[in-house]
Structure 1
């Protein structure tokens, strides 16, 4: 019979679910009457939902910004749109933008939104002076919740006077950089103290990257228009150039419509091939072919890609179009980081076509940057989930539920892999490679510096070897496998064993290889940081020990005497004071329990070590 208390609890939980379905706020969830465990889980779900909503809103705002900037052709209008968007996106009292003056060696105020001070709107910042000067001199973002108390930068009377007249307290500044060239600084500021979160700094940085590229392109377009006006006497040249500009503008419209319509980099590659009439290939940051269109050269039987092999073209790192043997290439870069390379061939490019390829590189970089941010957000959630599973954080049912929400069932047989790379700063690349190598059905994340993969299957050794071999084509990685595991509560112990095993593989000279923990045997005890002697003895002698405990026999003693007698049943019988036939019968029973191979050299050695360790263990 269901009690009134149980009915009340159920009603409270249903009410919580109704609040979640209605997108209730954290305050409403916290105020709801419900069991503490259910309310805590609901608060976590609500918090995660609000974080994802905030990130999605930021990405949507950036896309809107890209669309707005794409419609502007006047540099002044572009700058006004940038600061207006920055103020709205970060939610500050004002936003402003300074441009670099290479002749004077400083930056000057160019556009503001929300400013009320004439002195502030005309201030110039020397490199290293004020927070903006610090950003300009280091080309790195800086932010402060209290400008007046911050001693990281040099305060000057002119700058402090302008900042004071504007009433600014908190400032965040991020550099505008295109192809390693410093353009200016974008700021968001508040007239009251407020800390800037890393998400807000990152959002302002993404806007700055987009703004810098658009500003440079707008300037180039303005220069092109001025050049057209100056060439009025050369009618044929002007007409030819105008046709090229029109073709480039049509290409820009095509790329913009693809992005705003939800298209990806594959669509951009195909559009580029159609516009030019040749072939186009996009190679990712790791040198692997991402997408291709047209009659591009195919990789050979050994997997060698003749297109990706052109990655060493001189001048490719400058961001400009380069050419060799009829193949053109442009680096896809964002925020001074190379995200890939676009190659085109099968034709000869004129000036306008070359601009089309370079424009494709800029648009591709923007799309890849957005895709990376979305992928990083998903991976961050998976990292937290993997850490929760390995740490046994939260209740069992809660962990089961969270794992199943990402499509992984911890109650079906799976293996746990621990991957350790060698490239400094390559943690993110190793996560991506591990996800690709283990498949969509796997759960990949990090815990205490380890890359951990939970992979459906039961062959831990085979999985470890296959993953190490696949990732090893691009970078050295050592992989340890444990399993099969079939319960969420066993993940913590499996990870501990995998962590020891990957260290053992490296210590034994097997760097870059993959193996299961069971393949190391006693070597894992020697080199492991935390050897589990009980588990080792249990794994080897467990069936014999269990038989002795159930039947009251001493097969373990017979096994020890047999090895001590050099494998002679007759000498072992003398030691045990029994008939040799009795020893033979006991050895047959041991074979039934351990398998036919227990007397083979490798397993025999392991058994003797396990017997010795068992004898040395203190009695329980």
Structure 2
């Protein structure tokens, strides 16, 4: 099976945005532009009908301003002044579109037949013949302007990507609406200042500049320059420093290389003026209430300034815009140290860039999802109990993902006990903890995350970092267990290595889950981890070691530590004494005491093997109490 290409839906989305942008830049009437948005929603997401509705001047009713697929009779019915009341007196007159506008969030109705809270659907849905719908608000920089509603002829569940697409199309419709209003306002200004030729030329220049930047932005999207290219272009346009970070403040991209000025550091953002500015627009945390650019005071130094960049100056400010996907704040776009405070038209350009940054992050999410699915499929074939059905095909698929499975690899297992929040994406967390050149292949398999890492250099430190990174994201509700399993030196070794690591993980999780377990050098003991039930192994270890643990709890004597050191030293009394820093006679006495307590001879190789396995199980399950 070959590696599939990036989903064609991404390029379809970019082409749709470009089509809408061309209509806006061509100054087509607003109803034509909004009709294009409705058409693109049907094409991209597979809906039969779509309508863009705007609030009237009194903000009492929603009225259709552009549509695709709807019959003239239905448009007339919806546009009736008493049809879509924004604040109806009760649920019998309510609709999903009105609720999406009132609450400023996307409303999904998988099946109108069971949507008892929306009485208007009883007459509207049969008139057009739809059974499911999505309604997303149109949010301009200063207010909610309307909604986009997409209708499905059949009842259907709506996926997260479909909801993200309808919300991004709502953003495009809002931008088109705002551009039309800006153009109308500028035309009014131009008419008023027609006698002042200088002002007229400046007004035209501003409009031309804004349209040029929007066209350039859409071309960058089509050219797929990536996040770094977008940030570099905006920095050059504004002659300022531009930073994109994720919702947790981690740097994603910055520009320019020379003279870069970072945004305010966390301490500066927590100070009252900055905090109030960020919270006013929802940029600080949670879903944004407004999508506009806000001015943020920079108080004090903001981290190290790179060579060539001057220090902070009193009164310096930065500008921040939220980056939103699916109503979720996923990042921030910062503009720092421009030559002058951005003009209103420049602020709109920043907002448009923030929207396109959201598109770029959505594309990256899709790529990560594709890589995760490919890795999961590869692991399913690689870890078949009887080995890969087509070994060479598995090697080729791994090579296409950048991994050489002909080299020795350590197989590790990451398991989570407890809830994993929907916003936490385990594959992204795991890859985010590793360096890009770490050679990590990770993916889901049978309810756990399987990690393959080159056996050299020693991957234990990387596994510790992955454990800490994942624990921090899931704290305090989730417990993470990571097991470093045996080294697989050929394709036939991976299934057995997985069973050993999975068995050790099951044993740890059945007792006291969490932490890092290293079972890479178990030897014959690994065979029992492959097939043994966790509770049976624990009973075996408890039963064999109980007399020794009970003796230690009452009289001390370090019998368990002595036994462990003696077995590790190849049953050499002198070597064990050196390791424990005691006299060899002391070790001999303790070994004799151990034989008395367990009633078996340590000269018996079978007894020594059982004791070694029992001690290994005790360490894995972290039995500090008496076995």
Q: TM-score, normalised by structure 1?
A: 0.66
Q: What is the SS of the residue equivalent to 1:280?
A: strand
- Mapped to 2, the partners of 1:237 and 1:411 lie a distance apart of 71
Q: CA deviation at 1:435?
A: 1.2
Indicate conservation of the 8 Å contact 2:140/2:175, yes or no. no
Aligned Cα RMSD in Å? 5.1
Structure with more contact order per residue of length (Cα contacts < 8 Å, sep ≥ 6): 2
1:435 counterpart residue number: 431
Indicate conservation of the 8 Å contact 2:325/2:358, yes or no. yes
- Mapped to 2, the partners of 1:189 and 1:426 lie a distance apart of 27
1:322 counterpart residue number: 295
- Mapped to 1, the partners of 2:618 and 2:467 lie a distance apart of 34
Cα 1:234–1:265 change in 2 (3 A) is farther
In the alignment, structure 1 residue 78 sits paired with structure 2 residue 33: yes
Matches within 5 A, 1:412-561: 412-419=407-414, 425=421, 428-438=424-434, 439=436, 441-447=439-445, 450-457=448-455, 459-468=458-467, 479-486=482-489, 487-497=493-503, 499-500=505-506, 503=509, 507=512, 514-517=516-519, 530=534, 533=537
Structure 2 unpaired stretches of 5+: 284-289, 299-315, 545-566, 577-584, 620-627
Indicate conservation of the 8 Å contact 1:382/1:445, yes or no. yes
For residue 247 of structure 2, the aligned residue among 281, 285, 290 is 285
Q: What is the SS of the residue equivalent to 1:323?
A: strand
Q: CA deviation at 1:223?
A: 4.8
1:26 counterpart residue number: none
Indicate conservation of the 8 Å contact 2:243/2:251, yes or no. yes
Indicate conservation of the 8 Å contact 1:382/1:443, yes or no. yes
Cα 1:465–1:229 change in 2 (3 A) is same
- Mapped to 2, the partners of 1:409 and 1:534 lie a distance apart of 38
1:342 counterpart residue number: 333
Q: CA deviation at 1:395?
A: 5.1
2:220 counterpart residue number: 258
- Mapped to 2, the partners of 1:249 and 1:309 lie a distance apart of 38
Indicate conservation of the 8 Å contact 1:98/1:111, yes or no. yes
Flag the structure with higher helix content: 1
In the alignment, structure 1 residue 367 sits paired with structure 2 residue 360: yes
- Mapped to 2, the partners of 1:263 and 1:199 lie a distance apart of 26
- Mapped to 2, the partners of 1:489 and 1:337 lie a distance apart of 40
Cα 1:502–1:248 change in 2 (3 A) is farther
How many residues matched?
509
For residue 140 of structure 1, the aligned residue among 76, 86, 106 is 106
For residue 12 of structure 2, the aligned residue among 55, 61, 65 is 61
Q: CA deviation at 1:104?
A: 4.5
Structure 1 unpaired stretches of 5+: 1-44, 300-304, 541-554, 577-582, 614-620
Q: CA deviation at 1:473?
A: 8.4
Q: What per-residue deviation string (whole Å, max 9, x for no partner) do you get for residues 373-393 of structure 1? A: 333233234345445655759
Indicate conservation of the 8 Å contact 1:419/1:480, yes or no. yes
Q: What is the SS of the residue equivalent to 2:495?
A: helix
In the alignment, structure 1 residue 89 sits paired with structure 2 residue 44: yes
Cα 1:263–1:291 change in 2 (3 A) is same
Q: CA deviation at 1:201?
A: 3.4
Q: CA deviation at 1:81?
A: 0.4
Indicate conservation of the 8 Å contact 1:461/1:515, yes or no. no
Q: What is the SS of the residue equivalent to 1:348?
A: coil
Cα 1:309–1:69 change in 2 (3 A) is farther
- Mapped to 2, the partners of 1:354 and 1:196 lie a distance apart of 37
Q: What per-residue deviation string (whole Å, max 9, x for no partner) do you get for residues 56-90 of structure 1? A: 1x222211110011122442222110112223334
